[in-house]
Amino acid sequence: MKFLNKAFESEPRVLNLKVRYYRWFPAEAHQGFVMENLKINLQETAFLLIDVYCSGLHTEHSGSKDAYSKKWHQITVNQIAPALFTARQIGLPIIYVNNSAPKVDLQKSEFAEKLRKSLGFDMTKDFVEAEIDSKEYLKGKPIQLNFPPEISPQPTDYFIRKHFYSGFFETRLDTLLRNLKIRNLICVGFVADACLFTTIADAVFRNYKVILLRDCTLASEFPREVEELKNTQRTILWIETIFGVSLTSEEFIQACQNQIL
């Protein structure tokens, strides 16, 4: 009897997900969305948050009338936060991957010049942190890197700093995932067509299975298209076509609750 109990306890905890992906063929008439039942081993799965911070403009108390910023905040609080809470409940490793400002003469890089010209970011100012080793990173009052209490990193979470779009480029993320024996990544964060997209791409290139919570992201949008989220929907579809599968935060939470029960 004791042997049977040990055998039962050694069985992997499995999360049953109903996911979708997109079939971009044949060229004249795509087969379109396909639903698939996916079973993943919880011991091989991590919850990855990419640039989930909210700048001053992204808060509901900022007085901003910017519809895009308000949408960013709503997604963070109403979709990402509950999914994050549930991921912690079932014991998934929580990994934050965030922009940062290391002392590598950022202002002289081609990447920094492009961000400055096209996005209005100064990496030496916008991505500084207050509590950080000033020998290695630029230190200062945070402008972008503010966490609403609903999604604040906890002491047991992992925190990876990046200084390009991808969370894998010149960071410790891959080493962390390999040390944790992770094969599956539940991904959320911003923005869908830049940092999230390139991080997901690099994850697939390293043979990780990517599972996107598709209502937990937002792509860059023209002001006139914020209500329809045209670029967000197209980017999600493209991720579902070439990189991985997706489901909603509600579907993920329900699957986790079923596992708990």
If DSSP codes are grouped into helix, strand and coil, which group holds residue 159? strand
pLDDT at 2: 44
Does residue 255 belong to any structural domain of this protein? yes
pLDDT at 259: 79
Is the same domain home to 137 and 158?
A: no
Residue type, 69: S
Is the same domain home to 176 and 253?
A: yes
Which CATH number fits the domain that encloses residue 63?
A: 3.40.50.850
Does residue 167 belong to any structural domain of this protein? yes
H runs (alpha helix) in the chain: 2-10, 67-74, 81-89, 110-114, 123-126, 173-179, 195-205, 230-242, 249-260
Does residue 216 belong to any structural domain of this protein? yes
Gap between the Cα atoms of 138 and 102, Å rounded:
6
DSSP state of 102: B
Does residue 32 belong to any structural domain of this protein? no
Does residue 33 belong to any structural domain of this protein? no
Does residue 5 belong to any structural domain of this protein? no
Is the same domain home to 126 and 194?
A: no
pLDDT at 9: 52
Is the same domain home to 187 and 205?
A: yes
Is the same domain home to 119 and 81?
A: no
Is the same domain home to 208 and 259?
A: yes
Is the same domain home to 121 and 204?
A: no
- Tally of domains in the chain: 2
Under the phi-then-psi rule, with left for phi > 0, alpha for psi from -120 to 50, and beta for the rest, what region is 207? Answer: left
Last residue of a domain, one of 144, 170, 201: 144
If DSSP codes are grouped into helix, strand and coil, which group holds residue 121? coil
**Tens of pLDDT, residue by residue, the chain (261 residues):** 444 444 445 678 999 999 999 999 999 999 999 999 999 999 999 999 999 998 654 454 444 568 898 899 999 999 999 999 999 999 999 999 999 999 999 889 999 999 999 999 999 999 999 999 999 999 999 988 999 999 999 999 999 999 999 999 999 999 999 999 999 999 999 999 999 999 999 999 999 999 999 999 999 999 999 999 999 999 999 999 999 999 999 999 999 998 776
pLDDT at 144: 87
Last residue of a domain, one of 86, 119, 144: 144
Last residue of a domain, one of 144, 177, 203: 144
Does residue 23 belong to any structural domain of this protein? no
Gap between the Cα atoms of 183 and 178, Å rounded:
8
Is the same domain home to 217 and 256?
A: yes
Is the same domain home to 91 and 215?
A: yes
The angle that helices 230-242 and 195-205 make with each other, rounded to 10 degrees, is 0
Quote the pTM value.
0.92
Is the same domain home to 113 and 182?
A: no
Gap between the Cα atoms of 93 and 97, Å rounded:
13
Does residue 205 belong to any structural domain of this protein? yes
pLDDT at 261: 65
Q: Which residue, chain included where needed, has tokens 């003469």?
A: 105
Is the same domain home to 242 and 178?
A: yes
Domain that holds residue 114: 101-144
Is the same domain home to 86 and 191?
A: yes
